[in-house]
A and B are shown apart, each in its own frame.
Chain A
């Protein structure tokens, strides 16, 4: 059942709808482990209240790095294990106003640092389609909770693929908006110049519905843009005939990283799309090969700065010592290994010694990538690739940091270039990624709708 039907079911009988979801959670959450904090009791109360709005009675799970007032916000880290959010993120204000019900806060890689969901400080979330496999990350719990039927929609965050990656691994739609389309106020920082909050859904309509509600200018996030879109309307009114003469590009370099089964499915989708009169062209983007290193330099630099505030003094867990510096040091020792690694790299990269050699170069390359994408979208409407180069691996199949970072090669480009990108499920465990021109987010939903008609496994 997809979003539109879910919505009508929820409105006509909210309590039944909620009970169905509660049963699902009771049955399977133990094995999937998607929530850090469940909010069932207050959600149940809310279901009994009157709701009017675009998201009335829809059950939504929220990644635990997005603040929901009076609920814990751990960001998947021990250092925030006891942190109760004192305010609502802007997106939370917006979805609540439209009648959504928050069912819980979902697991994630610590501070969103990770690509498969196994890097949470609390526990590993599992892929609902195969509990032996990873759900993808870092929005692991968001994707798993939706795929397992614990909610109707979910909110995640995407800095280098953290929505699209688990969307692909859990066969969901996941959308990373153009930078500045959705307010980041209340999203715990990973890399401020790339972070975006975005929706998970089981169809294009669900993505459009949530986007309609959460996007827009916010004075509490100075990087938001003053633009209004009507995503649902655009999706509903779209006619496949309009695809004629649109142009798609894909890069040779993308496929060099992909396994055979992924490539095969990718070309199946391209073949299907060619039926609509879309022109498809292979191009070369040499910057793909430096994308991951550029991305990790930018992430680490910004992350090391963002993490300064976690000192155990104002909030979160404090390990007290007579000496102030010792208190800070001990409290910060609660951070996990990958988080520490990125802080150290970022601190070095932005230090007097590293700045010219690393930070500046990373900025230069990032600008080059932006320019490259700008010129690509002069000639093409879409740039496509598989979302992930491989299918989800098995939990416990340890990957070295560099190998793990390489998994992001296809997703980081959109964040570096600040452009919109969507992952569309085209098979179990496999996503098809479409990137578009900056602030042409609507156009991605149009092609998504067409692909969905043939490939969506949720129908």
Chain B
């Protein structure tokens, strides 16, 4: 079904202290209402302290990763009023947008702002725990640019990976909460406060199904706010009556407005991986093939590793890109090894460089084995020599002679090939190698074979 989806993503920013008080941000393992003070419980007379700078810095990081512009005007805090037991002041302090107009893997970002997390309300028992109250949140609002579930899943995966990597957010599945705005063939429906990426996908899947069913029986999709029931995996209406919520936003009189200055931005930019900038560098400085650029930028570990190696090795960039992307990184993944840790070892870099230098002379079929040796910390080139994994010097004439012999002997396979059986070529390559009795670059055989066959 055709759909348009926009997301409002809340992530907890990684800080030592809460946003407007000195309480710790480590609330998860504490007894209820142990991690609180007059400020984050909204005691009479308490006021918010100036916003935690660490939170602002981490929000800026996120905005830069998502390719946003920084708002240069003075930014005010606002009060958003609504009554709910987990909200101690019955209003939430939220900032005006701090970053705007971003774009991350094709999805436009409308704005990002800062706000305080409410506490937790246990509706069934009527208990409230304010330990979480005042934890800094970034709310990231996308444009309604998503149009398939796969796209949302893939994008959120990249989003989460890059954010985690920048060390700016709390890594806990429950710390990411998303409001989904979804329109198909009717009014816009909002699914509020879905926890975790997996649940978001489930919620959208269910909601699409529900809307499809409704439309089939001739019911209109009306504008409403729904809630995702994690246990039943369905969405249910949150507000029965249709009314527009009025949050009565007013500027927060207890907090001065603030401005993002250049110094802060530069400080934050250090060590930050911004995909669009990296993409440009790979393309223009290192001249990496499009195919590999696409693979590399998807993955922050790959991206930062390749960057580090490039800075050290300074040549053969495309070969390095291929070796790392297709061999080293996936093998590390299989073995549960962090590639970044390997890069700390100078031996590793030297060995890697040796492989790159010999890449054309090594038997490709044995490359995986050689890389495994590299990762294990031993000398891969010595290993390759011992095992005789190097290609041997064979003249082109010799290869062509053998190919002619094979073609004359393997009439049936050639018929198959001409009928369009692509596998036949592999068979012929194998036969050629057998006859050559030497290690030769498969690519060359492949190339010559095709030339012969096209005659």
Contact = CB atoms under 8 A, between A and B. Distances in A.
Interface in B57-114: 79, 81, 83, 85, 88-91
B50 A313 contact: no
B46 interface: yes
A184 to B, nearest CB: 6
Interface stretch (A34-42, A102-110, A130-138, A344-352): A344-352
A191 B49 CA distance: 18
Interface string B241-270: 000101011100111100000000000000
Question: SS class of chain B's interface: helix, strand, loop or mixed?
Answer: loop
A57 interface: no
Contact of A328 (B46, B83, B128, B253): B83
Contacts of A83: 44
Given A87-B38, A193-B253, A305-B248, A184 B90 contact: no
Contact of B46 (A185, A193, A304): A185
B144 interface: no
Given A192-B254, A222-B50, A305-B91, A313 B44 contact: no
B41 interface: yes
Contacts of B38: 86-87
A67 B91 contact: no
A315 B44 contact: yes
A350 B250 contact: yes
B43 interface: yes
A412 to B, nearest CB: 16
B151 to A, nearest CB: 35
Contacts of B39: 220
Interface string B159-184: 00000000000000000000000000
Nearest to B79: A305
Contacts of B43: 86-87, 315
A378 interface: no
B47 A311 contact: no
Nearest to B128: A313
Given A222-B256, A305-B79, A350-B250, A186 B90 contact: no
A24 B264 CA distance: 60
B246 A351 contact: yes
A347 B42 CA distance: 20
Interface in A257-315: 301-302, 304-305, 308-311, 313-315
B32 interface: no
Task: From B79, B83, B88, B90, name the one whose CB has the most chain A CB atoms within 10 angstroms.
Answer: B90
Nearest to A222: B50
Contacts of A328: 83
Interface in A50-102: 65-67, 73, 75, 80, 83, 85-87, 89
Contact of A359 (B41, B126, B250): B250
Interface in B204-256: 244, 246, 248-250, 253-256
Given A305-B81, A308-B89, A311-B90, A67 B47 contact: no
A373 B254 CA distance: 23
B41 A308 contact: no
Given A192-B253, A308-B81, A67 B45 contact: yes
Contact of B90 (A75, A308, A352, A355): A308
A308 B44 CA distance: 11
Contacts of A185: 45-47
A302 B254 CA distance: 10
A221 B43 CA distance: 14
Contacts of B90: 308-309, 311
Nearest to B81: A308
A29 interface: no
Task: From A67, A184, A304, A305, name the one whose CB has the most chain B CB atoms within 10 angstroms.
Answer: A305
Contacts of A80: 44
Contacts of A187: 45
B88 A309 contact: yes
Task: From B79, B128, B248, name the one whose CB has the most chain A CB atoms within 10 angstroms.
Answer: B248
B225 to A, nearest CB: 18
A301 B38 CA distance: 24
A189 B246 contact: no
Contacts of B255: 222-223
B133 to A, nearest CB: 11
B248 A347 contact: yes
Interface string A204-240: 0000000000000001111100000000000000000
Interface string B140-158: 0000000000000000000
A327 to B, nearest CB: 10
A219 B45 contact: no
A7 interface: no
Contacts of A188: 44-45
A67 B126 CA distance: 29
A257 B43 CA distance: 40
Task: From B39, B45, B249, name the one whose CB has the most chain A CB atoms within 10 angstroms.
Answer: B45
A324 interface: yes
Contacts of B128: 313-314
A89 B50 contact: no
Contacts of B253: 191-193, 223, 302
A89 B38 CA distance: 11
Contacts of B46: 87, 185-186, 220
Nearest to A359: B250
Contact of A311 (B49, B83, B244, B254): B83
Contacts of A193: 253
B248 A350 contact: yes
Contacts of A308: 81, 83, 89-91
B246 A352 contact: yes
B44 A75 contact: yes
A315 B91 CA distance: 16
Interface in B300-345: none
Nearest to A186: B45
Nearest to A80: B44
Given A311-B83, A350-B248, A220 B49 contact: yes
Contacts of B83: 308, 311, 325, 328
Contacts of A359: 250
A314 B43 CA distance: 9
A67 B44 contact: yes
B33 to A, nearest CB: 10
A192 B45 CA distance: 10
Contact of A223 (B91, B246, B254): B254
A300 to B, nearest CB: 11
A65 B254 CA distance: 17
Contacts of A67: 44-45
A311 B87 CA distance: 11
Interface string A346-373: 0100111001000100000000000000
Contacts of A313: 85, 128
A221 B44 CA distance: 14
A304 B46 CA distance: 16
Given A83-B44, A350-B248, 20 more contacts: A73-B45, A75-B44, A80-B44, A85-B45, A185-B45, A186-B45, A192-B47, A193-B253, A219-B49, A220-B46, A221-B254, A222-B48, A305-B79, A305-B248, A309-B42, A311-B83, A350-B249, A350-B250, A352-B246, A352-B248
30 contacts: A65-B45, A73-B45, A75-B44, A83-B44, A86-B43, A87-B43, A87-B46, A89-B45, A184-B45, A189-B44, A189-B45, A191-B253, A221-B47, A221-B254, A222-B255, A305-B79, A305-B91, A308-B91, A309-B42, A309-B89, A311-B90, A313-B85, A314-B41, A314-B128, A347-B248, A350-B248, A350-B249, A352-B244, A352-B248, A359-B250
Interface of B: 38-39, 41-50, 79, 81, 83, 85, 88-91, 126, 128, 244, 246, 248-250, 253-256
Interface of A: 65-67, 73, 75, 80, 83, 85-87, 89, 184-189, 191-193, 219-223, 301-302, 304-305, 308-311, 313-315, 324-325, 328, 347, 350-352, 355, 359
